[in-house]
Amino acid sequence: MAAQTLTADGPRLGQQEMKKMSPSFHPTLWGDFFLSYEAPTEAQEAEMRERAGVLREKVRSMIKGSHDVPEIVDLIITLQRLNLDYHYEDEINEKLTVVYNSNYDGEAVKELVREYTKEIKWRDEDYVPKTLKEHLKVSLISIGGTLVLCSAFVGMGDVVTKKIMEWVMSDAELVKSFGIFVRLSNDIVSTKREQREKHCVSTVQCYMKQHELTMDEACEQIKELTEDSWKFMIEQGLALKEYPIIVPRTVLEFARTVDYMYKEADKYTVSHTIKDMLTSLYVKPVLM
């Protein structure tokens, strides 16, 4: 054992122990750049400014030449992160218009409007679909689940590709289960309020007619259907291996939000009921 030297504060480690305890830092990535750095000459600075101008125009051409929504969004986000977006305000605004009017959201909106029109016809004709399945052919779309997911995915940059957006719009099983979960969760808590006025029938009235049940009985059985759709979403999310994990996770996170919004009341419509929750999250957060 190496000898130790006594001091007023106690034993002092010998040189061998000190050597063992010395940290081993990797060499700096910068080398001796800052030790030998010299400011550029006027000629060099002029050359760099000219080069920057060329690159700036090259990026401008990249923005103008981008057409796919994920590509556009990714490019805009990158420029913002690099604090270069102020050079391209006009180009970015033009491309954002393309994003807002993109086929993904645009087609989802068109589909939503078509189904809204069918629901209005149901209301005006006092029509009650014969089965829950018939009702969901319309109300699964009119609840807006696909539109919500499209809007969320459009802003995720290159993580979400054109293939993923097409998957969302293709009536995928996970997206369909999400729509069923949202629709049934909404109808359970909103149907009594909606039926006080002239309103198209909900899935609850349809289920009551199909199975000859009271409203309370129908709601209880529909709750079981929402639980089944939740389980199916989990299964589909875990089985979805061909896309990044952020894709199924986004769907499931939205489903969790829906579960909260419609747990005991229609908090989406009667929005003041979530005031305390929002306050606890954003105004007076509880620090852990």
pLDDT in tens, 88-123: 888 888 877 776 666 655 667 677 778 888 888 888
Check pLDDT > 80 for residue 253: yes
Q: Phi/psi at 96 (nearest 5 deg)? A: -65, -35
Cα(153)–Cα(164) distance, integer angstroms: 9
Cα(272)–Cα(29) distance, integer angstroms: 54
pLDDT at residue 159 in the model: 73
Structure tokens at 178: 């999400």
Structure tokens at 218: 């129908």
Q: Is 1 exposed, middle or buried (0-12, 13-18, 19+ CB in 10 A)?
A: exposed
pLDDT at residue 6 in the model: 45
Q: Which domains does the chain have, with CATH numbers?
A: 49-105 (no CATH), 128-287 (1.10.600.10)
Q: Give the bridge partners for 12, in sequence order.
A: 5
Amino acid (1-letter code) at residue 190: S
If we measure between CA atoms, which residue out of 177, 185, 176 comes closest to residue 224? 185
Enumerate residues 6+ apart whose C-beta is below 8 A from 210: 130, 131, 132
Helix axes 203-211 and 173-194, enclosed angle (nearest 10): 90
Cα(277)–Cα(92) distance, integer angstroms: 35
pLDDT at residue 135 in the model: 93
Cα(168)–Cα(164) distance, integer angstroms: 6
Percent of the chain whose predicted confidence (pLDDT) is above 90: 27
CB atoms near residue 268 (< 10 Å)? 16
pLDDT in tens, 22-43: 556 667 766 776 777 788 888 8
- Among the residue ranges 2-6, 78-82, 119-123, 181-185, the one predicted with the least confidence is 2-6
**pLDDT confidence tier of residue 200, bands split at 50, 70 and 90:** confident
Q: Give the bridge partners for 6, in sequence order.
A: 11
